[in-house]
Structure 1
Amino acid sequence: MSKPASVRAIAAQALADVALSGHSLRDVADRSLPRLADTRDRALLTALLNEGARWWPRFDAAVDRLLDKPIRRNEPVVHALLVTALVQLEILELPAYAAVAATVEAVRELRRPRLAGLVNAVLRRWLRERDTLLAALDAQPATRHAHPPWLVRAIERDWPARAEGVLTAANREPPLMLRVNRRRAEREPVAVALREAGYEVAAHDWLSDGLVLPHSTDVTRLPGFAEGRFAVQDGAAQVPADLLDLADGQRVLDACAAPGGKACHALERADVRLLAVEAEPRRAPRIRQNLDRLGLAAEVTIADAGDPSAWWDGTPFDRVMIDAPCSATGVIRRRPDVRLHRREADIDALVTQQERILAACWQTLVPGGLLLYVTCSILRRENDGVVGPFIEAHGDAEAVPLSLPAGQATLAGWQVLPGDGDLDGMYYALLRKKASPR
């Protein structure tokens, strides 16, 4: 019987898939974690994958500095193994002797014994020249903050006074935020149950359904999860239910609905008739799973939100929510692989899609109704750059002024930047359709 692969060998294979082959971090983690039985090994693998993806741009560059000739192309898994080793040393702060020895052993497990000496030499050189190498990495914003250069430039352009703070916040571990399901529980009893189970938890300062745990954990093991008493949802994503001014009997559209968190929150707040539209068939089941677990009901349709002829029956909606496809640059702290997969060239196509969906859904809104445009982007082109021209081109559209305890007003809406109130980055623009003159 062959020896089971070690945590570091599995991590190197998985991280190479994420960083060098474009695989989703979530998908790779889902297929890698079951290979390990020990909970401590699973915890280490999770840390290596999350921090490896988060800090890849920094330590990928470091590995190139340490090698006479790059091995990324010919030996991608060994290259990724070296990145994970530097993550162990610099981010997880594991003992150097253990990290180096285990990494060299992982080279042999990966059937690359001829490279064991090289890996050992590279890591020994890092330990000898660490201060000089770190100073070189810190000298450039892209490697200092582990962000692609194009994104650093975009953040510095859009938020010049806040850029350093935004980039720093994107590399901090986010808290775990829960949304209590009002249909099945009250916030304080849920918090009490969590504390009695040994978890540190606090009520959010200004989000009435929010609970905050300082660290991520397996939420399926939390008391009350299976019974649908709460869902996982960052505080920034809990804001839309407050902004929409929901009331019983309203007809509500949630465009681009997967995974369904905002739709479920709306249904928890009021007895509304909700249509959830999702373009990607593989993501739609998650909406139904969340609805079922939380004891909620909605119509779920797989269709392109930008083509109402495929899903709209002609009866206008009182409220429309568009969680538009976007660059996800506001949630990098929670989804670190975004920095590896998003490209500057993607933004033009995203903006075109956002404009199309906004224009299409606007026609489904009743006069006097509200449309909330949301993105998890911090790039102005996807936010005010979409909403501002839309308002100018539509005489029946007016912006509703917004004010939240975190973030700042923009020309057309409100922007929460990563770290504001310890929330994810998110943009909101609330538009009212003017009633037709009589």
Structure 2
Amino acid sequence: MKPRPEASRLKDKEPAGFQGQQAPALWQQLAAVAQGLQAIVAGQSSRSVLDQVPERLRPGVQALLFQVLRQLGRARALQKQLAPRTPPPHVSALLCTALALSWDEEQAPYPPFTLVNQAVEAAKRGPAKAQAGFVNACLRRFLRERQALVDATQADPEALWNHPAWWVARLRKDHGEHWRRILQAGNAQPPMTLRINARKTTLAQYQQALAAIDIEAIAVMDTGLQLARALPVQELPGFAQGLVSVQDAAAQMAAPLLLEGMAWPEGRPLRVLDACAAPGGKTAHLLELAGQRPMEVWALEIDAERARRIHGTLERLGLEAKVLVADASQPGQWFDTHCAGQLFDAILLDAPCSASGIVRRQPDVRWLRRESDLTQLARIQAQLLDGLWPLLQPEGRLLYCTCSVFKVEGQDQLQAFLNRNSEARTLPAPGHLIQGLADKAHGVADNRAGDHDGFFYALLHKKR
């Protein structure tokens, strides 16, 4: 039977050179997805899981796995209806894979009975072989009673919203009337958004380059383009030459917010610290916006492997910064040694957080994160703010941001910092950016931001 449109999109993502070869069987992809799901449930990230998938299978497996993760709450609830006793992990992962992909026929990448048939085939050929009959019985019953089973799960908040129950409850508390929209946005497919390198091209010029390869794009922000459809970065015109980078519209607000209205010092470069810099997108954006004005940027990253990614980003874009592998919360270990004890004019702190605002891009996060993690992350954020604030020049500014929609990592964190520091005052900034709301009345800094991730921004000025 002809595959659904989503299945066709999966085929479009096959690696270069694959066309003309025999496509992998659907059961193979489902088996790989189930194996990946089992690993994620056990605590691995989707990135590490996908790195282990054979390159030939990876594009299709990633697309299917992300769809499964976005529908996992419903799949788990349906599995409880079909199998009250929790089956072994590998069996549960395969059942949830099939149920997540097939419960909603409109979103199913293939007809539900095709998915069920291929899931049973995967069971017969894999570690669930001994339970293949059980898998078959559960999924055949699902096909017979699908609507009744779905109706029976409607009262389960995890099934209804496909987020953990604690996540749903916290958003209801934090964001009142907008909590439903945030959850819906977290289950949507994100757009691909680009940031043009203003040193090398313009929005109009790059739009023309995209149009030449039949890619439509709309302008978002001052340097952003949102694509009508995603494509591999290798196919972006001039990507290798540094004309463009991939960066969500919300993240593109950071560098302009920090630099807008700043007076450049006379006789020396503007000194800027990007405190948690990997993979280097915001570092690069700062340098791009500086243009011909002198700027020295220190890009700090605690993880050596991630710091190497900053070097790669800067090299591709033809930019230079001083990259340090160090803990931003412990300036005594690096500030005097590497920065000669000279205070910064501006500091960008994109702090470690729950990543709850980018869950549509990293759908595994919602199932890996625990509510208790928020307390630990808030403590780290406070340590970073307190450690970096003394490194800022009087009359300097610090931009605090997180890709989180939880207030404990945003507004609450800001208020606690202001309570501890009488010399700090706030400058205009978006606050909490809510996905799906594109107007200033709801906290979005610029209604040209388009379809953006969830973020929090606070801009702090240091009084003399």
Aligned length: 416
Alignment match, 1:65: 81
Mapped partners of 1:197, 1:300: distance in 2: 36
Contact 2:74/2:100 (<8 A) preserved? no
User: In the TM superposition, what whole-angstrom CA distance separates every residue of 1:278-301 from its partner, at most 9, and x where no partner exists?
Assistant: 112221111111111111111111
Q: 1:195 aligns with which of 211, 220, 223?
A: 211
Q: Is 2:256 aligned against 1:234?
A: no
User: In the TM superposition, what whole-angstrom CA distance separates every residue of 1:75-113 from its partner, at most 9, and x where no partner exists?
Assistant: x22221112212331332411332122111111221432
TM-score computed with the length of structure 2 as normaliser: 0.85
User: In the TM superposition, what whole-angstrom CA distance separates every residue of 1:337-376 from its partner, at most 9, and x where no partner exists?
Assistant: 1101110111111111111100111101101011000011
Give how far 1:33 is off. 4.7
Alignment match, 2:300: 277
Contact 2:31/2:122 (<8 A) preserved? yes
In structure 2, relative to structure 1, the CA distance for the partners of 1:317 and 1:407 (3 Å cut) is: farther
Give how far 1:216 is off. 3.2
Q: Counterpart of 2:429 in 1: which secondary structure?
A: coil
Contact 2:77/2:156 (<8 A) preserved? no
Q: 2:328 aligns with which of 305, 311, 319?
A: 305
In structure 2, relative to structure 1, the CA distance for the partners of 1:196 and 1:415 (3 Å cut) is: closer
Alignment match, 1:425: 454
Give how far 1:44 is off. 2.8
Q: 2:422 aligns with which of 390, 395, 420?
A: 395
Mapped partners of 1:230, 1:367: distance in 2: 35
Alignment match, 2:222: 208
User: In the TM superposition, what whole-angstrom CA distance separates every residue of 1:14-56 from its partner, at most 9, and x where no partner exists?
Assistant: 12111x22111122123215143xxxxx443122111112222
Consecutive unaligned residues in structure 1, runs of 5 or more: 37-41
Give how far 1:68 is off. 4.1
Q: Counterpart of 2:176 in 1: which secondary structure?
A: coil
User: In the TM superposition, what whole-angstrom CA distance separates every residue of 1:286-323 from its partner, at most 9, and x where no partner exists?
Assistant: 11111111111111111111111122131011110100
Mapped partners of 2:335, 2:406: distance in 1: 31
Consecutive unaligned residues in structure 2, runs of 5 or more: 1-23
Q: 2:38 aligns with which of 3, 8, 16?
A: 16
Q: Counterpart of 2:274 in 1: which secondary structure?
A: strand
1:72-151 pair list within 5 angstroms = 74=88, 76-89=89-102, 90=104, 91-151=107-167
Q: Counterpart of 2:396 in 1: which secondary structure?
A: strand
CA RMSD between the two structures: 2.1
Give how far 1:228 is off. 1.2
Letter of the 2:284 counterpart: C
Contact 2:255/2:285 (<8 A) preserved? yes
Q: Is 2:361 aligned against 1:334?
A: yes
Mapped partners of 2:419, 2:439: distance in 1: 24
Mapped partners of 2:382, 2:461: distance in 1: 17
Q: Is 2:62 aligned against 1:46?
A: yes
Give how far 1:148 is off. 0.6
Letter of the 1:267 counterpart: L
Contact 2:287/2:319 (<8 A) preserved? yes
Letter of the 1:80 counterpart: A
Mapped partners of 1:345, 1:402: distance in 2: 28
Mapped partners of 1:67, 1:407: distance in 2: 46
Moved more, 393-402 or 335-344: 393-402
Mapped partners of 1:88, 1:393: distance in 2: 49
Moved more, 326-335 or 4-13: 4-13
1:228-267 pair list within 5 angstroms = 228-245=242-259, 249-267=269-287
Mapped partners of 2:438, 2:258: distance in 1: 18
Letter of the 1:169 counterpart: A
Mapped partners of 2:164, 2:84: distance in 1: 23
Contact 1:415/1:425 (<8 A) preserved? no
Q: Counterpart of 2:461 in 1: which secondary structure?
A: strand
Mapped partners of 1:97, 1:329: distance in 2: 34
Moved more, 244-253 or 292-301: 244-253
